[in-house]
C-alpha cells in the first residue's frame, strides 16, 4: 500500500515552515528529534529507502510505501554529507522530518553491512586476471581451494614489495592485500615469493630430501 506523506501530514492551517538553510551551511546532519520530544507541528517518519521518482522519496516501513514530497528548501544528507535523492541507494536507513506538512530534512545512512561491503580489505594469493578482475585464492589446492573475484580499474594503484608496479606484473602465488574504498579498488599491495619478504607460497610443497 502506498501513502502520500504530504496528504497525511498536511495541516488545515496551511502555514509554511521557516525557510531551511541550504546543505553545506551546517556543520553536519541534524540530530533528529525523537517521538518523545516532537513539537505539535512536527512529524517524523523512519524506514528504508525504496527509491525516488520526480522529486519524491519512497520510504518503506513494513509493507507500506510512504511517498515523501520534497522542494528546493528540503535539506538532504546522505552518509553524513549534503546530498540529493539520487545519491540514495535502496535499503538505506532513512529518517524524514516534516514541519507543517513540508519536508524539512531527510537523513539517509547506509547500514553497517552495506558500509562494510563498500569499504574493506581483501587478502589472498594471486591466481590470475580475467578481463578487469583478478582472482585471489586461499592458497590451497583441490577441494580446499577457495577463490574470490576482485574488480580493478585503470586508477587502481599497484605496488610489489613496496615499489610501484602494473597489474600485469602480478605473478601467481604473490601475497595480495586489496583495499576497497566506497566500492572502488584503490590499492593492490603485493609481496613476491622472495623468502626475505614473505613465506613461501603455501601451494608449493618443499622438496623432500633423498
Strands 147-151 and 56-61: unpaired
Q: To the nearest whole number, what is the mean pLDDT of the chain? A: 79
- What's the CA dihedral at 32, 36, 42, 46 to 10 degrees? 50
* Confidence category of residue 67, pLDDT binned at 50, 70, 90: very high
- Residue extents of the structural domains in the chain: 2-112, 119-191
Higher pLDDT, 37 or 169: 169
E strands along the chain, which residues? 2-4, 42-53, 56-61, 64-69, 75-78, 81-82, 93-99, 102-109, 120-130, 133-137, 147-151, 157-160, 163-165, 175-181, 184-191
Give the chain's radius of gyration (CA, Å).
25
Q: What is the pLDDT of residues 127-140, one digit of tens each?
A: 999 999 999 999 88
Which cell goes with 198?
A: 614473505
pTM summary value: 0.50
Higher pLDDT, 91 or 157: 157
Q: What is the pLDDT of residues 1-60, one digit of tens each?
A: 666 554 444 332 333 333 333 444 456 677 777 767 778 888 999 999 999 888 999 999
Q: What is the pLDDT of residues 71-100, one digit of tens each?
A: 999 999 988 889 999 888 888 899 999 998
Check if CATH label 3.50.80 holds for domain 119-191: no
Contact 68, 103 (CB under 8 A): yes
Amino acid at each position: 500500500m502506498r501513502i502520500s506523506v504530504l496528504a497525511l501530514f498536511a495541516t488545515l492551517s496551511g502555514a509554511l515552515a521557516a525557510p531551511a538553510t541550504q546543505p553545506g551551511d551546517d556543520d553536519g546532519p541534524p540530530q533528529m528529534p525523537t517521538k518523545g520530544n516532537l513539537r505539535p507541528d512536527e512529524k517524523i517518519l523512519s524506514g528504508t529507502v525504496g527509491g525516488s521518482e520526480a522529486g519524491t522519496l519512497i520510504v518503506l516501513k513494513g509493507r507500506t510505501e510512504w511517498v515523501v514530497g520534497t522542494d528546493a528548501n528540503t535539506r538532504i544528507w546522505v552518509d553524513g554529507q549534503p546530498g540529493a535523492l539520487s545519491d540514495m541507494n535502496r535499503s538505506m536507513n532513512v529518517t524524514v522530518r516534516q514541519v507543517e506538512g513540508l519536508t524539512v530534512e531527510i537523513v539517509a545512512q547506509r547500514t553497517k553491512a552495506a558500509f562494510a561491503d563498500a569499504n574493506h580489505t581483501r587478502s589472498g594469493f594471486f591466481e590470475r586476471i580475467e578481463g578487469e578482475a583478478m582472482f585471489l585464492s586461499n592458497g590451497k589446492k583441490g577441494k580446499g581451494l577457495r577463490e574470490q573475484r576482485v574488480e580493478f580499474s585503470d586508477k587502481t594503484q599497484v605496488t610489489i614489495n613496496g615499489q610501484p608496479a602494473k597489474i600485469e606484473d602480478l605473478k601467481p602465488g604473490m601475497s595480495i592485500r586489496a583495499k576497497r574504498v566506497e566500492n572502488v579498488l584503490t590499492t593492490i599491495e603485493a609481496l613476491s615469493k622472495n623468502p626475505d619478504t614473505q613465506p613461501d607460497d603455501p601451494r608449493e610443497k618443499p622438496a623432500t630430501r633423498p
